[in-house]
């Protein structure tokens, strides 16, 4: 059976299968990416690359329905969210196309002494490998590929094995946008083959979005071969509610932050930390709002919660939930599972000794905690191996900034959720990984910042 296959999580149907790339074709793909970097990318202008990247953005908009239908079929995303993902990906490509001049502009260095001048010039480094996940099959690729193509690097895409049709569609978009063959190349490679790609001296860096286990494995191989690596791994993001003038809005935001993408988002709010005087009212409204949303057919425009990405993903989540309850957690909601369809669940009374305390629930499961105040909220928020994103709700501006300073995370959103944007950097600390994507910082990961010193 092929490693790369589309199995519709809503129906269980195997839609299509693709064979693994042969070792010979893989070597040719790496060689082609290296050749086009040396012969085209390094000699192209940033204006030319920006124009082609803008065409990539335009094609995402033109083909948004096709791209969305593929995502729904591959991983069960509700169709309206899949359409929004195609649009957001287009915005990312447009952002880097429009910002290309600023990103690549020489940076003058003020000399402390001596004659002449100095500058830092950003140049490409070569072939990059992107190992991308299934949960945002378009957006994850965009935030890796867009800045690096503006720089002039070339891309090898190893997409998730359940997203081969997305990989095919994206490769065709880059070709249709006018990028030469080899600038953006999909590879249906096995894990063993990927190890050889990372070790190849023509490959200069690796970006992975995925699990901690995958990140550790890739980082070990990359380190052994002295390759730069960017890792975006898991998260168990806190949603801290300290005060509010509109509890209903805070609850709606909390539900949105937990259930977006069927609850399968690394930077989703997963742990809800509520001060004592708001806890009971919040919990009552939160349970009502969560349980009012029922999983449904992801092809329907009204669906807010589709199936989990696979039977294996649903099995893992069910096992975590069962273990949490056996260890003393209280399941505050009714709960049903039908195949890959998983109804929202809310846990309370999760003690520190409970396995659920330190785990990431990758699906529509929320954990709610009661705290006495600000300091206890910060301590609880930081008592996790993860440090990706976080959410703070308060009416006190100074408190918001104090809490933001105290949280150990790469991102803090204050009184807002689902506010990712192309110009905002994305990434975490601790076991959530290292490096940044998106924004200006996303263009500084895989680039040669070449210092040039000119005498008087």
Answer yes or no: is pLDDT of 263 > 70.
Answer: yes
CA angle 252, 257, 258 (to 5 degrees): 100
Q: What is the pLDDT of residues 306-363, one digit of tens each?
A: 999 999 999 999 999 999 999 999 999 988 999 999 999 999 999 999 999 999 999 9
At residue 1, the pLDDT reads: 38
Cα–Cα distance for residue pair 143/87, rounded to 1 Å:
13
Q: What is the mean pLDDT of the chain?
A: 97
DSSP codes, 290-328: HHH-----TTSTT-S----S-HHHHHHHHHHHHHHHHTT
Q: What is the pLDDT of residues 50-78, one digit of tens each?
A: 999 999 999 999 999 999 999 999 999 99
Q: What is the pLDDT of residues 197-240, one digit of tens each?
A: 999 999 999 999 999 999 999 999 999 999 999 999 999 999 99
Region of 272 please: left (phi>0), alpha (psi -120 to 50) or beta.
beta
Domains of the chain: 4-232+432-454 (3.40.605.10), 237-419 (3.40.309.10)
pLDDT bucket at 3, cuts 50 / 70 / 90: confident
Cα–Cα distance for residue pair 197/202, rounded to 1 Å:
9
DSSP codes, 376-421: HHHHHHHSSS--S--EEE-S-HHHHHHHHHHS-SS--EES-SS---
Cα–Cα distance for residue pair 413/128, rounded to 1 Å:
31
Residue 121, SS3 per DSSP: strand
Q: What is the pLDDT of residues 87-129, one digit of tens each?
A: 999 999 999 999 999 999 999 999 999 899 999 999 999 999 9
User: Which residue has 């609880």 as its token pair?
Assistant: 380
Residues marked active site are found at 232, 266
At residue 271, the pLDDT reads: 98
Answer yes or no: is pLDDT of 2 > 90.
Answer: no
Burial class (CB in 10 A: 0-12, 13-18, 19+), 414: middle
């Amino acid at each position: 059976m092929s490693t790369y296959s589309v199995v519709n999580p809503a129906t269980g149907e195997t839609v299509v299968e693709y064979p693994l790339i042969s070792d010979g074709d893989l070597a040719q793909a790496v060689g082609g990416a290296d050749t086009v970097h040396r012969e085209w990318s390094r000699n192209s202008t940033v204006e030319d690359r920006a124009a082609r990247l803008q065409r990539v953005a335009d094609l995402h908009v033109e083909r948004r329905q096709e791209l969305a239908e593929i995502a729904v079929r591959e991983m069960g995303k509700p169709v309206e969210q899949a359409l929004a993902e195609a649009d957001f990906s287009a915005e990312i490509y447009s952002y880097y196309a429009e910002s290309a001049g600023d990103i690549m502009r020489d940076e003058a260095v003020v000399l402390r002494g001596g004659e002449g001048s100095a500058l830092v010039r950003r140049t490409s480094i070569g072939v990059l490998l992107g190992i991308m996940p299934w949960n945002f099959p378009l957006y994850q690729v965009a935030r890796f590929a867009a800045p690096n193509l503006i720089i002039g690097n070339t891309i090898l895409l190893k997409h998730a094995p359940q997203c081969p049709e997305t990989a095919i569609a994206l490769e065709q978009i880059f070709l249709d946008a006018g990028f030469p063959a080899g600038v953006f190349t999909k590879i249906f490679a096995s894990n063993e083959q990927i190890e050889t790609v990372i070790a190849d001296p023509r490959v200069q860096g690796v970006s992975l979005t995925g699990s901690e286990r995958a990140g550790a494995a890739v980082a070990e191989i990359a380190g052994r071969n002295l390759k730069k690596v960017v890792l975006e791994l898991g998260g168990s993001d806190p949603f801290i509610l300290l005060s509010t003038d509109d509890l209903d809005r805070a609850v709606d935001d909390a539900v949105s932050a937990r259930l977006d993408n069927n609850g399968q988002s690394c930077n989703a709010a997963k742990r809800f930390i509520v001060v004592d005087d708001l806890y009971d009212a919040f919990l009552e409204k939160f349970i009502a709002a969560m349980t009012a949303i029922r999983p449904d057919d992801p092809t329907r425009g009204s669906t807010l919660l589709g199936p989990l990405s696979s039977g294996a993903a649903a099995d893992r989540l069910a096992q975590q939930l069962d273990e949490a309850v056996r260890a003393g957690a209280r399941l505050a909601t009714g709960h049903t599972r039908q195949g890959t369809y998983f109804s929202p669940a809310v846990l309370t009374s999760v003690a520190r000794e409970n396995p659920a305390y330190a785990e990431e629930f990758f699906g529509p499961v929320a954990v709610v905690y009661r705290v006495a105040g600000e300091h206890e909220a910060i301590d609880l928020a930081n008592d996790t191996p993860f440090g990706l994103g976080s959410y703070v709700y308060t009416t006190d501006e100074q408190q918001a900034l104090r809490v933001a300073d105290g949280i150990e995370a790469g991102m803090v959103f204050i009184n807002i959720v689902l506010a990712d944007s192309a110009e905002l950097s994305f990434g975490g600390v601790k076991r959530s990984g290292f490096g940044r994507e998106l924004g200006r910082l996303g263009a500084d990961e895989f680039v040669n910042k070449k210092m040039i010193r000119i005498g008087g």
